[in-house]
Structure 1
Amino acid sequence: MSTLPAPLPPEPDAPFPPVDQALRQPDGLLAIGGDLSPPRLLNAYRHGIFPWYSQGQPILWWSPDPRTMFATDGVRLGSKFRRGLRRSTWEVRADTAFAEVIRACAETPRPGQRGTWITREMRAAYERMHELGHAHSFEVFDGDRLVGGIYGLAIGRMFFGESMFSAESGGSKVALAALAAHLGSWGFPLIDAQVENDHLLSLGAELWTRPRFLAAVAELTAEPGIVGSWSGRVGCWPATRLAEPARAAGPACHDP
Structure 2
Amino acid sequence: MFRVFANSDGHKTLSDDHQRAALQGDSPGSKTHVRHVRLAILGSGFSGLGMAIRLKQHGHEDFVVIERAADIGGTWRDNTYPGCACDIPSHLYSFSFALNPHWSRTYSPQREIRDYLRRCARRFGILPHIQWNCELLDASWKEVDQCWHITTTQGELTADILILGNGPLSEPSLPPIPGIERFEGVMFHSARWHHDYDLTGKRVAVIGTGASAIQFIPHIQPRVAHLSLFQRT
**Normalization by structure 1: what TM-score?**
0.21
The structure with more helix, counted as a fraction of residues: 1
TM-score by length of 2: 0.22
Q: Rg: which structure is higher?
A: 2
